[in-house]
């Protein structure tokens, strides 16, 4: 059940990424944002491995660009990118497995959600990173539709 759900979510996120990429002109800023979004998105589809933390290093230029702009989104970009790089790395994953190896899962949906957050935080963090950078990329790529009054005057 989880594999089809992951594929469905990833496909749903890939469509707006592809639309934004096809509609925009290439610029370094857009390229870094597109790369940051797709690096996390591709790891969701294939279920990441620990050595794939290196792929998330591709989010650093986009995070640095947002940080340099002083945008309020810069703090979220920093926290999300750092969490993704840390929680998909070898040493933190091993430490998390050691610390949570004795935990038992509570019955019910809430218990399973808690277990997923504690035992496997990486896929959730990857989803957050993918959605965040896709949102920023979409905002900077796809123009807002003009109001009807502006269209009528032209």
| Residues present in the chain in total | 154
- The domain of 55 spans 2-153
pLDDT of 91 reads 76
Residue segments in the chain with a per-residue pLDDT below the cut of 70: 1-3, 47-51, 99-101, 103, 105, 118, 144-154
Q: Output b/e per residue, 18-57; b: 16+ Cβ within 10 A.
A: eebbeebeeeeebebbbbbbbbbbbbbeeebeeebbebbe
What is the per-residue pLDDT for 9?
A: 83
CA–CA dist 149, 140 (Å, integer) = 23
Domain total for the chain?
1
How high is the pLDDT of residue 154? 47
- The answer to whether the beta carbons of residues 114 and 104 sit under 8 Å apart is no
């Amino acid at each position: 059940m989880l594999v089809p759900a992951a594929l469905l979510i990833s496909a749903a996120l890939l469509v707006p990424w592809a639309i934004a990429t096809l509609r925009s002109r290439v610029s370094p800023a857009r390229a870094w944002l597109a790369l940051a979004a797709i690096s996390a998105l591709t790891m969701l589809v294939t279920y990441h491995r620990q050595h794939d933390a290196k792929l998330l290093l591709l989010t650093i230029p986009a995070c640095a660009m947002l940080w340099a702009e002083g945008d309020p989104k810069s703090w979220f970009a920093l926290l999300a990118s750092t969490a993704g790089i840390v929680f998909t790395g070898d040493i933190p994953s091993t430490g998390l497995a050691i610390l949570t190896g004795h935990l038992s899962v509570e019955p019910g949906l809430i218990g399973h959600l808690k277990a997923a957050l504690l035992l496997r935080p990486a896929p959730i963090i990857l989803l957050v990173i993918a959605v965040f950078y896709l949102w920023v990329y979409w905002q900077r790529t796809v123009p807002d539709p003009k109001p009807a009054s502006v269209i009528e005057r032209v």
